[in-house]
């Protein structure tokens, strides 16, 4: 076990003057400690063996190579925690290693905290990867917290940050996909409930999600039917109305030529303006695009109009586009 963790290393060759004065490079002292760890089990190494090395090199390894000794302890602790559990024998070995390396309680506590934090955070993120935190997963995390001996405030911080990050990433994915179906909205609420998150979304994202929810409905659900005071044709249903500007190209410039109400039905686009009445059958529309904050209708004949609504142009465009395609 120890051989796979600590590899034996060659001692540093002394310099010309070190040979002349029969001195050995001081770094060889910590290399010898490394080689002890690489060739013997932890409990086989005595404090006197470390002291003998210090005496031969006439240095204090703890003072001169403090960070190296801390690294030795961290490497072994990390190995022991690879299964996310510290057995009694591992705890005894770690205590023995702490003693022979002359590490104080504060340093050891810090090493345990830093490594434990990393492992607990990784385990928590794995537990909520499916957007749920089951009772079995909660029990496992409680045992892990106890085993790692992590401070309660640190565990709480990791838990809160991990859950909020997961939810934020889920919302970002929805926005990136440009869709919010009822199933996805239900899943978002289920995640918040399972992870015990207060589903607070900032105003910008909330507005975006509402728009994506509306767009999904316009594309997939039956279109709303609007009752209007117009004489419609047999089987004709109005699905949208708004006060608009009717714009046409005149003398190489787009000009508002009339204002009034537009009605989008399952058969035509009907415009009742102040000056004119326009009637465009859906089967006469060739293209339907957004331009100048309005919907531009490409037609077989006649002038091409742009219908600029008071409300969200996307709603008008999606409804008209769907009516046109389904006609």
Let me know if residue 128 belongs to a domain. no
Question: Would you state the pLDDT for residue 248?
Answer: 93
213 and 245 belong to one structural domain: no
Q: Are 207 and 169 in contact (CB under 8 A)?
A: no
Write the pLDDT tens digit of every residue in 120-160: 999 999 999 999 999 999 999 999 998 888 899 999 999 99
Between 166 and 327, whose confidence is greater?
Answer: 166
Q: Tell how strand 285-291 and strand 277-281 pair up.
A: unpaired
Between 218 and 26, whose confidence is greater?
Answer: 218
99 and 145 belong to one structural domain: no
247 and 196 belong to one structural domain: no
**CATH number where 311 lies:** 2.30.29.30
Look at residues 166, 191, 219 and tell me which one is the last residue of a structural domain: 219
Q: Is the pLDDT of residue 6 over 90?
A: no
Q: Is the pLDDT of residue 282 over 70?
A: yes
pLDDT band at 203 (very low <50, low <70, confident <90, very high): confident
Q: Are 245 and 272 in contact (CB under 8 A)?
A: no
Report the alpha-carbon distance of residue 316 to residue 263 in Å, rounded: 10
174 and 242 belong to one structural domain: no
86 and 14 belong to one structural domain: yes
The number of C-alpha atoms within 13 Å of 211 and in the hemisphere containing its C-beta is 14
- Averaged pLDDT, 250-263: 93
Write the pLDDT tens digit of every residue in 205-242: 889 999 999 999 999 999 999 999 998 999 999 999 99
Q: Is the pLDDT of residue 323 over 50?
A: yes
Write the pLDDT tens digit of every residue in 45-90: 999 999 999 998 889 999 999 999 999 999 999 999 888 888 899 9
201 and 248 belong to one structural domain: no
Share of the chain above pLDDT 70, in %: 94
Secondary structure letter of residue 132 according to DSSP: -
Domain ranges, residue 270: 238-326
Q: Is the pLDDT of residue 314 over 70?
A: yes
212 and 247 belong to one structural domain: no
Share of the chain above pLDDT 90, in %: 72
Give me 272's structure tokens: 């009742």
Q: Is the pLDDT of residue 14 over 60?
A: no
Question: Would you state the pLDDT for residue 17?
Answer: 43
Let me know if residue 298 belongs to a domain. yes
Let me know if residue 124 belongs to a domain. no
Between 209 and 201, whose confidence is greater?
Answer: 209
What does the angle CA 90 – CA 96 – CA 101 come to, to the nearest 5 degrees? Answer: 125
Alpha-helix runs per DSSP H in the chain: 2-5, 16-20, 27-39, 47-57, 61-64, 66-80, 88-100, 105-127, 135-148, 152-177, 182-194, 203-220, 313-326
For 249, phi and psi rounded to 5 degrees? Answer: -85, 125
Let me know if residue 274 belongs to a domain. yes
pLDDT band at 21 (very low <50, low <70, confident <90, very high): very low
- Averaged pLDDT, 258-284: 95
Let me know if residue 226 belongs to a domain. no
37 and 76 belong to one structural domain: yes
Number of structural domains in the chain: 3
What is the distance, to the nearest Å, from the Cα of residue 144 to the centroid of all Cα atoms in its chain? 24
148 and 177 belong to one structural domain: yes
19 and 49 belong to one structural domain: yes
pLDDT band at 13 (very low <50, low <70, confident <90, very high): low
Question: Would you state the pLDDT for residue 18?
Answer: 45
Between 57 and 19, whose confidence is greater?
Answer: 57
């Amino acid at each position: 076990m120890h051989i796979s963790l600590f590899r034996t290393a060659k001692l540093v060759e002394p310099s010309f003057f070190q040979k002349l004065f029969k001195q050995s490079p001081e770094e060889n002292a910590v290399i010898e400690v490394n080689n002890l760890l690489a060739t013997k089990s932890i409990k086989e190494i005595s404090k006197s063996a470390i002291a003998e090395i210090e005496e031969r090199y006439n240095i204090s390894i703890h003072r001169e190579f403090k960070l190296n000794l801390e690294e030795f302890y961290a490497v072994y602790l990390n190995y022991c925690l690879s299964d996310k559990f510290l057995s009694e024998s591992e705890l005894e070995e770690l205590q023995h290693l702490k003693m022979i390396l002359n590490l104080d309680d504060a340093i050891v506590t810090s090493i345990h905290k830093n490594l434990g934090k990393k492992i607990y955070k990784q385990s928590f993120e794995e537990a909520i990867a499916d957007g749920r935190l089951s009772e079995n997963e909660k029990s496992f995390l409680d045992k892990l917290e106890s085993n790692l001996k992590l401070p309660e405030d640190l565990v709480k911080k990791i838990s809160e940050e991990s859950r909020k990050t997961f939810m934020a990433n889920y919302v970002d994915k929805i926005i990136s996909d440009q869709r919010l179906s009822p199933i996805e909205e239900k899943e978002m609420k289920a995640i918040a409930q399972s992870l015990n998150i207060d589903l607070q979304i900032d105003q910008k994202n909330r507005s975006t999600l509402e728009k994506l929810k509306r767009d999904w409905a316009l594309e997939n659900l039956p279109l709303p039917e609007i009752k209007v005071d117009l004489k419609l044709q047999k089987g004709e249903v109005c699905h949208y109305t708004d006060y608009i500007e009717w714009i046409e190209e005149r003398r190489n410039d787009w000009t508002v030529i009339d204002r009034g109400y537009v009605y989008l039905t399952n058969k035509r686009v009907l415009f009742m303006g102040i000056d004119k009445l326009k009637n465009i059958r859906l089967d006469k529309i060739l293209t339907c695009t957004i331009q100048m904050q309005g919907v531009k209708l490409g037609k077989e004949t006649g002038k091409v109009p742009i219908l600029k609504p008071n409300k969200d142009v996307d709603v008008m465009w999606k409804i008209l586009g769907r009516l046109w395609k389904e006609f």
